[in-house]
Amino acid sequence: ITVVMTLLFRPDILDVEPGHRVDERDTEDNSVHYTIIFNAFVWMQLFNEVNCRMLKGEFNVFSGIQNNPLFCSILIVTSFLQVLIVQFGSVAFAVADDGLDGKQWGLCLILGAGSLPIQQVINVIFTLAQHYKGVRMRKRLKKNRSLVAHPYHDGHASLVEHDHDHGHDHSHALSEKKDH
Q: Model confidence over 43-78: pLDDT tens digits? A: 999 999 999 988 787 889 899 999 999 999 999 999
Over 90: is that where the pLDDT of 156 sits?
A: no
Per-residue confidence (pLDDT) for residue 138, from 0 to 100: 82
Per-residue confidence (pLDDT) for residue 160, from 0 to 100: 52
Mean model confidence pLDDT for the chain: 82
d(CA 8, CA 70): 34
Count, in order, helices (H) and strands (E) of the chain. Answer: 7, 3
DSSP run (H or E) holding 29:
none
Strands 156-163 and 148-151: antiparallel
Per-residue confidence (pLDDT) for residue 175, from 0 to 100: 43
162 neighbors 175 (Cβ within 8 angstroms): no
Over 50: is that where the pLDDT of 179 sits?
A: no
**What is residue 141's three-state secondary structure?**
helix
Residue among 111, 93, 95, 98 at smallest CA distance from 14: 111
Give the helix ranges, DSSP H, for 52-89: 69-88
Highest mean pLDDT among 23-32, 108-117, 150-159: 108-117
Q: How many CA atoms lie within 13 A of 3 on its CB side?
A: 20
Per-residue confidence (pLDDT) for residue 32, from 0 to 100: 92
Over 70: is that where the pLDDT of 165 sits?
A: no
Over 80: is that where the pLDDT of 180 sits?
A: no
Q: How many CB atoms lie under 10 A from the CB of residue 105?
A: 17
112 neighbors 44 (Cβ within 8 angstroms): yes
The CA-based angle 73-75-77, given to 5 degrees, is: 65
Over 60: is that where the pLDDT of 31 sits?
A: yes
Per-residue confidence (pLDDT) for residue 178, from 0 to 100: 44
d(CA 90, CA 114): 27
Over 80: is that where the pLDDT of 163 sits?
A: no
Per-residue confidence (pLDDT) for residue 172, from 0 to 100: 46
Among 41-55, 75-89, 151-165, 166-180, the range scoring the smallest mean pLDDT is 166-180
- CB-based burial label for 118 (10 Å; 0-12, 13-18, 19+): middle
Highest mean pLDDT among 15-24, 52-61, 161-170: 52-61
Predicted TM-score of the model (pTM): 0.69
d(CA 61, CA 147): 45
d(CA 61, CA 52): 8
